[in-house]
Amino acid sequence: MSGDLPGVPLRSPQSPATIIPVRSLRGRPRDEDVNARIMRASVQELARGGISHFNVSAVARRAQVSKGSVYLRWPTREALILSAAEHVVSPIITPTEGTFRDRLTTLADRWAEAFGQPQSVEALLRIDADRDAFPELFSQMFERLQGDRNRAFVATVTAAQASGEIPTHISVRMLNQVFVGALFVEALAHTPAGGISDAFKRELVDFIISALQTHE
């Protein structure tokens, strides 16, 4: 019968009822892993060629998705690069428990974990090498890479200054550069074989605390 609806049993005198299934009106379930695969591939691509040689087609191949799937989520190459920058190093959450030494030790642990991510150091070096060729994009990437992470250190130091644990006349920006810079150089020295040792992190924290005490 031409007027029969999908899913309604059709019966003929010679045959039992036949069920015609109703087609689902829902689209294909979204693969929640696609974004993660694209991000991992993008970080790998940054580690391979930095900003200048970042190739969306190569990202798609690495992620095993179509190029269209990439552009569906990130409409431009620059948007994908900026998003990938946030994943080069893991987020740093501001510690709130314990003494200033305890919180500084926690930050050292978290930065060490961040620099220990696969291809993190390589990507950072490649990005830095392209800073002069892409100054505006580099500036935006640096903010995404370092902004929240640096703010965690600044919040930790300013809280310690407010509580009287450390002197207030110390330059927080300079202290941050010394702290993060030392961890990065140590990570660079051990890439890709290993990470930053607990002994180095303790030594760095002791050095910072000792230096601050001499300025009281």
Structure confidence by residue, pLDDT tens digits, 185-199:
999 888 765 689 999
Mean pLDDT along residues 43-71: 97
Determine the Cα–Cα distance for residues 101 and 165; give it in Å rounded to an integer.
10
Question: What was the pLDDT predicted at 25?
Answer: 37
Q: Name all domains of the chain by residue range, CATH numbers in brackets.
A: 33-85 (1.10.10.60), 100-214 (1.10.357)
134-146 b/e (C-beta count within 10 Å ≥ 16 → b): beebbeebeebbb
Determine the Cα–Cα distance for residues 205 and 108; give it in Å rounded to an integer.
8
For 9-13, 15-19, 52-56, which range has the lowest pLDDT when averaged over its residues? 9-13
Widest CA span in the chain: 101
pLDDT over 80 (residue 21): no
Determine the Cα–Cα distance for residues 56 and 72; give it in Å rounded to an integer.
12
What tokens were used for 211? 């230096």
For 3-12, 115-124, 189-198, which range has the lowest pLDDT when averaged over its residues? 3-12
Mean pLDDT along residues 133-149: 91
For CA atoms 157, 86, 114, 119, give the dihedral sign: negative
Determine the Cα–Cα distance for residues 189 and 202; give it in Å rounded to an integer.
17
Mean pLDDT (the chain) is 85
Question: What was the pLDDT predicted at 12?
Answer: 42
Determine the Cα–Cα distance for residues 54 and 77; give it in Å rounded to an integer.
8
Determine the Cα–Cα distance for residues 181 and 107; give it in Å rounded to an integer.
13
Mean pLDDT along residues 102-116: 94
Residue 31's closest CA among 69, 87, 59? 69
pTM more than 0.85: no
Peptide bond into 192 cis (omega under 30): yes
Indicate the DSSP class of residue 46: H
**Structure confidence at residue 32 as a pLDDT band (50, 70, 90):** low
Mean pLDDT along residues 133-162: 92
**Structure confidence at residue 141 as a pLDDT band (50, 70, 90):** very high
Determine the Cα–Cα distance for residues 160 and 147; give it in Å rounded to an integer.
20
DSSP 1-38: -TTPPTTS-EEETTEEEE--PPPP-S-PPP-THHHHHH
Most confident of 15-19, 72-76, 111-115: 72-76
Question: What was the pLDDT predicted at 28?
Answer: 39
- Between 82 and 14, residue with greater pLDDT: 82
pLDDT over 70 (residue 57): yes
Cβ-Cβ contacts under 8 Å for 89 (sequence gap 6 or more) = 114, 115, 117, 120, 124, 145, 149
70 neighbors 38 (Cβ within 8 angstroms): yes
Read off the pLDDT of residues 163-172 as tens digits, 9 standing for 90 and up. Answer: 999 999 999 9
